Amino acid sequence: MPAWDKDTVRAAGKDLLGRIDMVMERADWAGFLELADMLPRARRTFVTGAGRSGLVARSFGMRLMHAGLPVFVPGETITPAAGVGDILVAISCTGTTGFTDYLACRARRLGAKVVILTADAHSPLARDADKIVVIPATAEDIVVRAAVFEHAASLCLDALFNVLSDRLKLDPDSYRRRHANLE
């Protein structure tokens, strides 16, 4: 087994940051801006993804809740029925995740708009979308590609939230009142 040191880990971290930065430069910022326009007009927003993309979706959902928007995670016991006027935001690097694609198809059949965040605009999941927002992560190593996609997606969605909170004139006090306090 090779001997690793802190410089090896630091170099791996810098490599990831460089890859994330390159993806962020090419991200579909116009698509994120469209999503920022859609969210306040939606009756409700549902967020989903599998694995780490699912964690990014939940994190984004938490931000939307902080903004005072009605947001839910499919599969949770308190999630209402989806329908016309709703949006499903689905996140998948490859766009081939079966569970995420199933939810996108189901939401669309129920009349909800489907917005997909993916690295592959031609994936099966993208074909089921009303709006595709591309986060162009590429790498031969699927683990590296997924990590870069998930980090970039999280940063892009936080940037979208910053724009959205400014548009909604979200003041720090209203944010704090909605922040979790049973911690």
The per-residue pLDDT for range 43-64, each reduced to its tens digit, is 999 999 999 999 999 999 999 9
Fold of 28-120+134-172: Rossmann fold (3.40.50)
Mean per-residue pLDDT, 17-27: 95
**Mean pLDDT score across all residues of the chain:** 93
Residue 121 pLDDT: 96
Contact 145, 93 (CB under 8 A): yes
This prediction's pTM:
0.93
Active site residue 76: no
**Confidence tier at 34 by pLDDT (50, 70, 90):** very high
pLDDT at residue 2, as a whole number: 67
Mean pLDDT across the stretch 71-82? 96
Confidence check: pLDDT of 151 > 70:
yes
Contact 75, 50 (CB under 8 A): no
Of the pLDDT bands very low, low, confident and very high (cuts 50, 70, 90), residue 1 is low
CA–CA separation, 108 and 84 (whole Å): 9
Domain boundaries, the chain: 28-120+134-172
DSSP state of 40: G
Helices (H), 27-181: 29-38, 51-66, 98-109, 124-127, 142-167, 172-178
Catalytic residue among 25, 76, 140, 150: 150
Distance linking the first and last C-alpha atoms of the chain: 42
